[in-house]
Amino acid sequence: MRYAYFPGCSAESTARDMHQSTLAVARALGIDLVEPKGWTCCGATAGHQTDHFLAVSLPAANMAKVRDMNLDMVVSCAACFNRMKVANHEIAAHPATRKQVGEALERDYDGSVKVRHFLEVLLDDVGLKAISRAVKHSLNGLKVACYYGCLLVRPPKILKFDDPENPMSLDRLVEAIGGQSLDWPCKVECCGGGLSLSRTDVVVQLTDSILDMACRAGADCVAVSCPLCQVNLDLRQQDIRKQTGRNHQMPILYITQLVGLCLGIRRDELGFEKLMVPASTVLEKVAAN
Amino acid sequence: MEKICGAALGVCFQCKKCSSGCPVAKLAKSRPSEIMRQLHLGAGNELLESDLVWACVSCETCSTRCPMGIDVAGVIDALRKLALERGAPKPAGNVPLFNRAFLRTVQMFGRSYEIGMVAAYKLGTGTWMNDTEKFPTMLKKGKISLLPPRGGDRKTVRRIFKQSKKNQGPQA
């Protein structure tokens, strides 16, 4: 199994733990990830909110590079995944857009590179049975609230990732490694995304209500697969405590960190020390078996 | 409006599913369904000052749930585009400045550079003290890089930005 792997900018800053744990899990499961040389930013929400042409061309520049590698593109950041797939859709559906993008890239790109989230590789290519077999330490019934956020599932017509109201792919993976995935109502609620710095007030309110619900559902931790969700839910717990007095102390882990832990990968290779809210309860529970 | 966002606005029958699911509707003065109704009634530039336009988190819940298949988030995208073009007043938190600061680092380095972006944004908004207490921990945990990113294909990215500026005409 060989793929072109697009890390995304956050892999070099706020989401090094996502990047490290993705690479470690891939290695352990025999997945070969090759970075396209010279990859660049997908434009993220800032590009999307500023200019349609930028929002399509910036992802396309990367997909054109992957086109030359003759591999499927694998992305572990939900935001990059979303921008890539939307750009592909726009280019394939609108010849005028394709032409304009082609002029800026100085090459034609037809929108045909297959873009997949790393979760899809784990579920569809490796398969849950193989992952279960590779598990060395079970999650031991750890109660996990799986949080998908927006960018993995919406817009569903373009992303075709999972059910947009009640997705189950993360849940199935958690069950396969011995966890108990919780039925809770905030799976696809929004964390405030890119407004983290510009409208911190909005992000604090949204993350507070999501975390509150995870606590009430009895979660030991929340599993995510988007760097924006992780940072907002993890980092903003300090602000929630200061502003409302509520102390959630809820560990927010990347699903790849949980899978890696079960595969027996060393914690420092999975970036556990980078979490703002420490995951000691999770680690104790897994170590107990 | 219909031309910019490609949505058939006339089929909206005010079921308000978009407003019920909108995560920021309860925090903003206006709701997505109200914006849709105002568009029906022929509202103009006053809509560009609606706080929802920049408080919108682009989560696309509204578009996903609309029973008539209207891309409501696309309508908000179109309002943002017009707000930028027509120089609407700065919204709370100056989101357009944040977006510009972010994109400027991408234009320079090919990849986003957090410290550069945060500095430019704070300089423009005067919010120096926000989040400073988190900076040392984030630096220690390697969640922020001091140095700008390297290795990105800057040449292609610069061509894209040049073309984008050209598309927007002389006022941009």
- Whether the per-residue pLDDT at A28 is higher than 80: the answer is yes
Q: What is the pLDDT of residues A38-51, one digit of tens each?
A: 999 999 999 999 99
When the pLDDT of each residue in chain A is averaged and rounded to a whole number, the result is 96
Does A103 sit within 8 Å of B98, measured CB to CB? Answer: no
A58 at the B interface (CB within 8 A)?
A: yes
| The pLDDT value given to residue A183 | 97
| Rg from Cα positions in chain A | 19
Q: How far is A129 from chain B (nearest CA, A)?
A: 32
Kindly list the residues from chain A whose CB atom is less than 8 angstroms away from the CB atom of residue B149.
9, 12
**Beta-carbon contacts of residue B159 (< 8 Å; ≥ 6 apart):** A104, A105, A106
Does A54 sit within 8 Å of B152, measured CB to CB? Answer: no
Residues 119-178 of chain A with CB under 8 A from chain B are 150, 154-156, 164
Kindly list the residues from chain B whose CB atom is less than 8 angstroms away from the CB atom of residue A200.
93, 130-131
Give the residue from chain A lying closest to B64, CA to CA.
A155
Q: Residues A75, A84: contact at Cβ < 8 Å?
A: yes
**pLDDT, mean of residues A252-264:** 98
Does B23 sit within 8 Å of A190, measured CB to CB? Answer: yes
Rounded CA separation A102/A34 (Å): 25
Kindly list the residues from chain B whose CB atom is less than 8 angstroms away from the CB atom of residue A54.
103, 160-161, 164
Q: Residues A7, A223: contact at Cβ < 8 Å?
A: no
Q: What is the pLDDT of residues A133-176, one digit of tens each?
A: 999 999 999 999 999 999 999 999 999 999 999 999 999 999 99
Q: Residues A20, A269: contact at Cβ < 8 Å?
A: yes
Q: What is the pLDDT of residues B58-104, one digit of tens each?
A: 999 999 999 999 999 999 999 999 999 999 998 999 999 999 999 99
**pLDDT, mean of residues A265-281:** 95
Residues 61-80 of chain B with CB under 8 A from chain A are 61, 63-64, 77, 80
Q: How far is B35 from chain A (nearest CA, A)?
A: 18
Query: Residue A127 gets which letter from DSSP?
Result: I
| The pLDDT value given to residue B172 | 43
Rounded CA separation A234/A245 (Å): 16
| The pLDDT value given to residue A289 | 64
Residue from the list B84, B144, B151 with its beta carbon closest to the beta carbon of A38: B151
Residue from the list B64, B137, B161 with its beta carbon closest to the beta carbon of A155: B64
Per-residue pLDDT band at A11 (split at 50, 70, 90): very high
Which amino acid, residue A239?
A: D
- Residue A86 has, within 13 A of its CA and on its CB side, a CA count of 27
Q: Residues B54, B4: contact at Cβ < 8 Å?
A: no
* Residue that the structure tokens 């079970």 belong to: A138
Q: What is the pLDDT of residues B115-147, one digit of tens each?
A: 999 999 999 999 888 899 999 999 999 999 999
Q: What is the pLDDT of residues B9-61, one digit of tens each?
A: 889 999 999 999 999 999 999 999 999 999 999 988 999 999 999 999 999 99
* Residue that the structure tokens 């073309």 belong to: B163
Give the residue from A145, A64, A143, A72 showing the smallest Cα distance to A107: A64
Give the residue from A123, A209, A213, A230 showing the smallest Cα distance to A173: A123
Q: Residues A109, A98: contact at Cβ < 8 Å?
A: yes
Does A195 sit within 8 Å of B55, measured CB to CB? Answer: yes
A98 at the B interface (CB within 8 A)?
A: no
Q: pTM value?
A: 0.95
φ/ψ of residue A199, rounded to 5: -130, 65
Q: Exposed e or buried b for every residue in A58-88, given b needs 16+ CB within 10 A? A: bbbbbbbbbbeeebbbbbbbbbbbbbbbbbb
Q: Which residue has the higher pLDDT, A194 or A246?
A: A246
| The pLDDT value given to residue B170 | 61
Does B160 sit within 8 Å of A58, measured CB to CB? Answer: yes
Per-residue pLDDT band at A287 (split at 50, 70, 90): confident
Which stretches within B11-146 are classed as H helix? 17-21, 32-40, 52-55, 61-65, 72-85, 95-109, 114-125, 135-140
- Whether the per-residue pLDDT at A285 is higher than 90: the answer is no
Does B110 sit within 8 Å of A40, measured CB to CB? Answer: yes
